[in-house]
A and B are shown apart, each in its own frame.
Chain A
Amino acid sequence: MEGAAAFLRRLLRGAPPLRPPGALDEEAFAARCIRCGRCAEVCAYRSLRPAGAGRGLEAGTPEVVAREAPCWLCLRCPPVCPTGALAPVASPRDVRMGRARLVAERCFAFQGIVCRTCLDACPLQGEAIRQDEELRPVVTERCVGCGLCEHRCPAETPAIVVDARRRP
């Protein structure tokens, strides 16, 4: 039963969305979120949006669309979740929303243009994104997936995109 529901859900939806900080794994999150809207209500940056009808049964659950409104890691949302769909997060470094991925062919720094927008945008300065010897950005293990880099990237289609955390 559990397996069938999970399979159907994977079939119906595409890539998993970015969830707010502290979100449980996708299955557990979808089961616990009662769409009360409290996380979106207290979000200081209006970054949490209700999932659309395209998400099927997950319609109304909170998502982060990083290019439009990334997560600023203020961490106001986990404490207001009434059902534990968002677990407490001690500090911005403990957030596990996803991981930024560099798309070299779109990145200015890979074309010899000096650009360090993503490094400057990163809230974990110097930890989550570093520069290699040729001054190109490299995403490290410390990235929490807040999406500020994707939001700020000057390339028309962002050269750095956040992949939502996947279940192991």
Chain B
Amino acid sequence: MTGVRWTRWRRRVQALSALLWLALPVLADPRLAGTPAALRAGPVDLVEPSAALATALAARALPAALLVSALPLALLALALGPVACSWLCPYGLVSEGLDALRDRRARAPRIPDAGHRARAASLAALLALSLLAGAPIAALLLPPRALAALPLEAWSARVVPWVSAAILLALLALEALGPRRLVCRALCPAGALAALLRRPFTWGPRFSRAECRCPDRPPCVQACAWGLDPRADRPPDGCTSCMACVEECPSRALVALRRAP
């Protein structure tokens, strides 16, 4: 154990994030407003990069302001990996909850390792659809957007949010019936784009084979919500830097930071 209780910290951050999306419609303050598709925080405008890309394709134009507001989250993914998925996304929290319920009843099938190909294909399809339809479909179907739209539309517009609820139910049904965490791991355009941005220097669990003492079914692989094997030179494709594997590692084979030799 490295000592850092990564999962406990992650749950706290996830809970704060979930509270934020619930509170924003009630606050109704232009200085802090939005959903995971786009958040305004004071002078800073944050647009989720896949939503920005979808609207740029649909409108066949990329205004400088849109590019600037999509950069912070893209840079975050470049630096830390898809941490928005594992630490901030409200849909991710719901998906993890659903997965935990499901796990108790039966060993649901884990998604096969072709996950990264499914992810890229889904992102490409959603972006192509956005371009052809002239509407940012990737943004409309963005899971955390649909989730955060429920309290927003119910409170701010005083309507029953049928469309967002229908999108959300369809996504949850896919997760309940399909391979584990299917939506997060293979279908979400935001997660797919963030995962594509991972580079060798991007933060993630660092593995040292010399210090690994575990047999065939090591706790790190058991801990990974996506069934990835972190025992490699670099974090596996799709790793969201949740650090559960690092927390479970009984030796110092997996650490959050390792100086280059």
Question: Known: A41-B25, A50-B159, A76-B30. Contact between A82 and B45, CB under 8 A?
Answer: yes
A90 at the interface (CB under 8 A from B): no
Interface of B is mostly: helix
CB nearest neighbor in B for A48: B157
Contacts of A154 in B (CB 8 A): none
B55 to A37, Cβ gap below 8 A? Answer: no
A113 within 8 A of B: no
Taking CB atoms, residues of chain A closer than 8 Å to B193 are none
Q: A41-B33, A80-B33 are in contact. Are A31 and B134 (CB under 8 A)?
A: yes
Neighbouring B residues of A106 by C-beta, 8 Å: none
Return the contact of B54 from the options A34, A42, A60 (Cβ within 8 A).
Answer: A34
Given known contacts A41-B25, A53-B166, A82 and B135 CB-to-CB distance under 8 angstroms: no
- Is A124 engaged at the interface, CB distance under 8 Å to the other chain? no
* A1 interface hit (Cβ, 8 Å): yes
Give bound CA distance, A52 to B165, whole Å: 11
Which of B61-69, B110-118, B198-206, B239-247 is found at the contact surface with chain A?
B61-69
Find chain A residues with CB under 8 A from B135 CB: 30-31, 57-58
| 15 contacts across the A-B interface (CB closer than 8 A) | A5-B133, A27-B134, A30-B134, A32-B59, A34-B47, A35-B149, A36-B34, A36-B35, A36-B38, A38-B40, A40-B152, A49-B159, A50-B164, A58-B135, A80-B40
Q: Interface residues, chain B, CB within 8 Å of chain A?
A: 24-25, 28-30, 33-35, 37-38, 40, 45, 47, 51-52, 54-55, 58-60, 63, 65-66, 69, 132-137, 139-140, 145, 148-149, 152-153, 156-159, 161-164, 166
Binding site for B on A (CB under 8 A): 1-2, 5-6, 9, 27-28, 30-38, 40-44, 46, 48-53, 57-60, 76, 79-80, 82-84
